[in-house]
Chain A
Amino acid sequence: MRLGRQVPLMAGWVQPVAADWALNLPAPKSDIAARIYDIHTLILLICLGIFVVVFGVMFYALFKHRKSVGHQAQHFHEHTSVEVIWTVIPLLILVAMAWPATRAVLDQKDTANPDLSIKVTGYQWKWEYDYLQGGVKFISASSTPADQIANQAAKGAHYLLEVDEPMVVPVGKKVRILLTSHDVIHAWWVPELGVKQDAIPGFIRDTWFRANEIGTYRGQCAELCGRGHAFMPIVVVVKSEADYQAWLAAKQAGKQAKAVAAVAAAAKSFGPAELKARGEKVYAAHCVACHQADGKGVPGAFPALAGSRMVNGPAAAHIDRVLHGKDGSAMTAFQEQLDDADLAAVITWERMAWGNTGSPVQPADVKVLRK
C-alpha cells in the first residue's frame, strides 16, 4: 500500500473556499429539474410532518410517563382499530406521493422528437461528445491543474468542475443524449438540468434534457469508475440558438483548420525547446493524471516514465505506445485525440524531462507510424 505525498495541512487551511452551506437541490434550470425539486419538497414536508407528530407523541411519553415522576404502567398491548388506522393512513399518504412522481417518470423517459442528438461516450477518465448531426466530435477532459489537486497552488473557483472543451447546446431545445462507454460503467450527470444516466460499455441508452436558461452548468461522473472517478467533470454551456450555430460552425471549421494545420505541422521541423514547451502543456492536460507530474507514475498501476527503458530507448517503440495504447491496460490510444505535432511534442517532453536522455521526435516521425 502506497500512501500519497505528505503535504502540510496548513497549505489547505488558508484556502479561500467558496463557502456554500447549500441545503437543497440546486436551482433548477430545466422543467424536469424544477419538477424534481418540487416533488422533493413535497416528500420532505410530508416526512417532516409525520416525524413531528410521531416523535412529539414519543417525547411526550418519555417525559410524562417516566417512573421517576411516579407514572404507573398501564397494561394494554393491542388496539385493533388504531392499528388499522395507522396502517391505512400511511398507505394513502404514499399513494399521494407516488402520483406526481409517476407523471415525472414517464416524462423523463420520453426521448421522442429531439431537436438534436449528441452521443456521449465515457472513458477512463474523460468524456467524448459526438454531435451526430453536426459531424463534430471531441474529448472533454478535466482542466484542473495537477498542482491544485496536490495542494501546491491555490484552487480555482471551479476546482474539479472545469473542462478543456465543454458540451455546447442551444437554449430551449430538446437535446437527446445517447450514452455509452468505452471501458467501464460511468454515469453522466448535470444536477441543474436534472439529468443522470449510466454509460454502459457495449450498449447505448438514451435520455434527454431541455435547458431553459443560457448559462454554464457543471456536473460529475456518478458511477465509480476507478482512480479518476472524481476527476472527469461535465460542463454544459447553454447558448442562444445563434451563438450555438456560430460555435458549431467554428468547430466544423476548426476541424478543417486543425486537419490542415496538422498536415502543415506534420511537414515542419521544430526545435527541441519549442517541442518541450508545447509537450509540457500537452502532458499536463493528458498524461499527468496517471504518470504524475514527476513522471514517476504509480507503482503497480501506472508505469514510471522517468528512467523508463522505453522512453529512453529507440523512439519508434515509444511513439507506437502513445499512438496505439497498450491492449489490456489503461493506456489509451492517443492517435485520434492528438495531432502529429502535439504527439511529437509530448513524446519529446517525456524523452527529455526528469533526467531522461532520449532524443527529440518530429511530427513526421509520428505520422509515419500511424495506422
Chain B
Amino acid sequence: MEANLAHPLPHEQHAAPAGLWRWLASTNHKDIGTLYFWFAATMFLIGGLMAMLIRAELFQPGLQLVQPEVFNQLTTLHGLIMIFGVIMPAFTGFANWQVPLMIGAPDMAFPRMNNWSFWLLPVAGVFLVGSLFLPGGAVAGGWTMYPPLFMQGGISYDLTIFAIHLMGASSIMGSINIATTILNMRAPGMALMKMPLFVWTWLITAFLLIAVMPVLAGAVTMLLTDRNFGTHFFDAAGGGDPVMFQHVFWFFGHPEVYILILPAFGIISSVITTFSRKPLFGYASMVYATASIAILSFLVWGHHMFTVGMPAAAQLFFMYATLLVAVPTGVKVFNWVATMWRGSLTFETPMLFAVAFVCLFTIGGFSGLVLAMVPVDIQLQDTYYVVAHFHYVLVTGALFSIYAGLYYWLPKWTGHRVNETWGRWHFWLSAVSVNVLFFPMHFLGLAGMPRRIPDYALQFADFNRVASLGGFVFGASQILLLIVILKCIRGGEKAEARAWEGAEGLEWTVPSPAPYHTFTEPPEVK
C-alpha cells in the first residue's frame, strides 16, 4: 500500500503529506484503515504469544512455566487484547477502507475525528500490555472483571479501566463517524436497500456500539469508584450487590459479541457472492435478519449468568430469548448456502476461508444452542465447553472472516494479486490446526474441566495435550499470513480494477490500487 500511495495526488488545499507525519496526522480513510490493520496485527502477535504460553502451560498437568497468578494475567490480557485490540480494530479497518468505496463517498463524514479514533488505541494498548510490568502484575480477574475479585487487584486494574475508557471512546467516535457516513453520504441512487450487505452490517454494528459501549463505560466507572472513591455499587456490606455488575456488564457484553460478528457476516456475504458469480440469495431477509439479531441481542444477557441464583422465571425468559436468536442466524447460513447453490464456484483463498467460516461458525452456533439450554448450562457454565464455543465463533468465525476479507481486498488496496500458493498453505494449515486446537475443548468441558485454571486433574491430560499441539501449529501458521501480506504490499502480479471475476460493487470500478482520493465526484448508481 505504501509503495503506491507514497506519492499521492496533490490535493487542492494542502501539499501531499509524507513520512511519519502522514501517518500521525492522516485524515484519509484509506490511511486510517491501514493504521487500524497494522495495530490489530501487532496486538494479534502479542495476544497470540500469550495464547501460546497458556497452551504451553496447559500441555501437561502440573505447573511448569508460570505461577497461577501470572497465568490469570495471561488469560485476562489475552481476552482483552483479542477482543478490543484485534477483532474490533480489524473490522474498523475494513469499515474505513471499504465503506466510503462501497457507497461512492469521498471519505468519512468526520475525517479528523477518524484520526483521533485510531490514535487512542495504541495508547490503550500500551497501558494494557505495559501493566504486566507494574507492581502486582497486570489485571488477572478475567476479561469479564467480576467484583469482588476485581477489588483485590493493584494499580494495573485502575489503569486497565482507563484503557477500556479510551478504547470505548475510540469505538463510539468511530461508530458515530461510520453511521453518519452511511446515512448521509451515499452516492445518489444508492438507496439503503441497494447497499452492499457489508455496509448494512457495519451500519447496524455502529448502532450497537453507540448503544452499549457507554454501558460498559458506566460499569467500569462503577468498578473504579468502588475501588477508589468509597462507593458500594457491588459491595454487599454497603448495601450493594456483586451480581449487579454482572447484569450491567453483560447488558454490554452480549451485544458486544454481535458487534464482533456482524461485520464478519458482511464480509462473508461479499466473498461468497463474488466466488459463486451469483447475487446474494435473499438480500432483504439478510438485512432483516441482521437487524433482528441486533435487537434480540439486548434481551439475552442473562444467559451468561444462569448459575448466579436468578429465579426460574428469569432463567426461562433468557433461555427462550436466546433460542430465538438462532432463527435469524440460521436464516443467514441458509442464504449463504443458497447463494452457492447452482452458482459457478471457484476456490481462491478468500472463498476457502469463507466456506470454512460458514461450516465452522455454525459449529460454534450449535454449541451456543447447547449452552442456551439452562439445565445443560448448569453443567457447562465456566467449563472448557464455553471456551470451545466462543473460540469457534470468534476464531473460525470473526478471525477467518477477517482473513477472507484481507485476501479478497488486498488486490484493491495494493494493486497486486496475492500469492495463491502461500494463501492456500496458510488456509489449510490454519483450518486443520484450529480444529485440533478447539474441538477437543468441547469434550474437556463435558468431562468436567473448569475454565481459567493453570493446572488440571489427570483425566483431562490427553485432550489438553492434543489441543496444545494444535495451538502451536495454528500459532506458527499465522506467520504465513504476515509473509503473504508483506509480499503482496511489496509486489506481485498486477491486479485489475475488477480484481476478481464476478466481483460487483463500486470499489471494483476504481483502479487497483485505489487512488488516494476516490469518488471526489459522486458516481452514477443505477
Using a CB–CB distance below 8 Å, which chain A residues touch chain B? 1-4, 6-7, 9, 12-13, 15, 17-26, 32-33, 35-36, 39-40, 43-44, 47, 50-51, 54-55, 57-58, 61-62, 65-68, 71-79, 82-83, 86-87, 90-91, 94, 97-98, 101-102, 104-106, 108-109, 148-151, 155, 157-161, 179, 183-185, 187, 189, 191, 194-198, 200-203, 205, 218-231, 298, 300-301, 330
CB distance from B430 to the nearest CB of A (A): 19
Nearest CB in chain A to that of B142: its residue: A224
> Is B308 engaged at the interface, CB distance under 8 Å to the other chain?
yes
Contact B330 A90 (CB under 8 A): yes
Q: Which of A66, A75, A83 has the most CB of B within 10 A?
A: A83
Q: Is B323 an interface residue (CB 8 A)?
A: yes
Chain B residues lying within 8 Å of A191, measured Cβ to Cβ, are 379, 448
B283 at the interface (CB under 8 A from A): yes
| Contact indicator A196/B450 (Cβ below 8 Å) | no
User: Contact between B379 and A17 (Cβ–Cβ < 8 Å)?
Assistant: no
**Which residue in B337, B343, B453, B457 is a CB contact (below 8 Å) of A57?**
B337
Nearest first, the 3 A-B pairs at minimum CB distance are A202-B236, A205-B309, A230-B453
Are B344 and A73 closer than 8 Å at their CB atoms?
A: yes
| A47 with B369, Cβ < 8 A, contacts A62-B355, A300-B137 known | yes
Residues in A with CB closer than 8 Å to B455 are 149, 160, 230-231
Given contacts A108-B375, A187-B307, A200-B243, contact A12 B60 (CB under 8 A): yes
Q: Known interface pairs A39-B373, A73-B342, A187-B382. Does A219 touch B448 (Cβ–Cβ under 8 Å)? A: yes
Residues of A within 8 A of B376 (CB): 36, 39-40, 43, 101
**Residue of B at shortest CB range from A95?**
B323
Shortest C-beta distance, B517 to chain A (Å), equals 34
Are A77 and B379 touching (Cβ within 8 A)? no
Q: Provide the residues of chain B in CB contact with A83, threshold 8 Å.
A: 282, 285, 331
CB distance from B318 to the nearest CB of A (A): 11
- Say yes or no: is B281 at the interface (Cβ < 8 Å to chain A): yes
In the complex, what's the smallest C-beta–C-beta distance from A83 to chain B, in angstroms?
6
Contact size class for B? 35 or more
Within 8 A of A (CB), among B269-295: 276-285
B149→A65 contact, CB < 8 A: no
Give chain B interface residues in 54-80, CB to chain A under 8 Å. 60-70, 72-73
* Inter-chain contact total with CB atoms closer than 8 Å: 336
Give chain A residues whose Cβ lies under 8 Å from the Cβ of B311: 109
A4 touches B379 (CB 8 A): no
Q: List 8 A-B contacts (CB under 8 A).
A: A32-B375, A58-B340, A61-B345, A62-B347, A109-B315, A149-B62, A224-B382, A298-B69
Q: Which of B152, B337, B362 contacts A61 (CB 8 A)?
A: B337
CA distance A82 to B331 in the complex (A): 11
Q: Is B383 an interface residue (CB 8 A)?
A: yes
* A51-B362 contact given A18-B459, A36-B379, A73-B277, CB 8 Å threshold: yes
Q: Are B443 and A67 in contact (CB under 8 A)?
A: no
Question: Residues on B close to A: CB < 8 A?
Answer: 60-70, 72-73, 132-133, 135-137, 140-142, 146-149, 152, 154, 235-237, 241-243, 276-285, 307-309, 311-312, 315-316, 319-320, 323-324, 326-327, 330-331, 333-334, 337-347, 355, 358-359, 362-363, 366, 369-370, 373-376, 378-379, 381-383, 443, 446-448, 450-463
Residues of A within 8 A of B307 (CB): 187, 196-198, 222
> CA of A108 to CA of B373 in the docked complex: distance in angstroms?
13
**What is the bound-complex CA distance between A68 and B347, given in angstroms?**
10
Chain B nearest Cβ from A197, distance in angstroms: 6
Q: A198 — which chain B residues lie within 8 A by C-beta? A: 307-309
Given A17-B462, A224-B72, A229-B452, A71 and B374 touching (CB < 8 A)? no
- B330: chain A residues at CB < 8 Å are 86-87, 90
Contact assessment for B243 and A22 in the assembled complex, using a CB-CB cutoff below 8 Å: no
Contact B141 A90 (CB under 8 A): no
Q: Does A101 contact B362, Cβ atoms closer than 8 Å?
A: no
Partner of A22, one of B65, B316, B453, B459: B459
Q: Contact at A90–B344, with CB atoms within 8 Å?
A: no
* Pairwise interchain contact B443-A22, C-beta atoms closer than 8 A: yes
Q: Assuming A205-B309, A224-B452, is B458 touching A159 (CB within 8 A)?
A: yes
Tell whether, in the assembled complex, residue B70 and residue A47 are in contact, meaning their CB atoms are under 8 Å apart.
no
Contact B463 A21 (CB under 8 A): yes
B355: chain A residues at CB < 8 Å are 58, 62
Whether B243 contacts A1 by the Cβ 8 Å rule is: no
CA distance A73 to B243 in the complex (A): 54
Report the Cα distance A55→B359, complex, angstroms: 7
* Closest chain B residue to A199, Cβ basis: B309
Query: Closest approach, in angstroms, between the C-beta of A187 and any C-beta of chain B?
Result: 6
- Residues in A whose Cβ lies below 8 Å from that of B64: 4, 7, 9, 12, 151
Given A9-B64, A101-B373, list of 15 further CB < 8 A pairs? Answer: A3-B65, A21-B443, A23-B447, A24-B446, A40-B376, A58-B340, A58-B359, A61-B340, A65-B343, A77-B280, A97-B373, A106-B312, A149-B62, A200-B308, A224-B141
Chain A residues lying within 8 Å of B236, measured Cβ to Cβ, are: 200-203
Docked Cα-Cα span, A230 to B284, in Å, equals: 49
Q: Are B443 and A23 in contact (CB under 8 A)?
A: yes
What CA separation (Å) do A2 and B66 show in the bound complex?
8
Q: Are B67 and A4 in contact (CB under 8 A)?
A: yes
How far, in Å, is A9 (CB) from chain B's closest CB?
A: 7
Chain B: which residue is nearest A72 at the CB level? B344
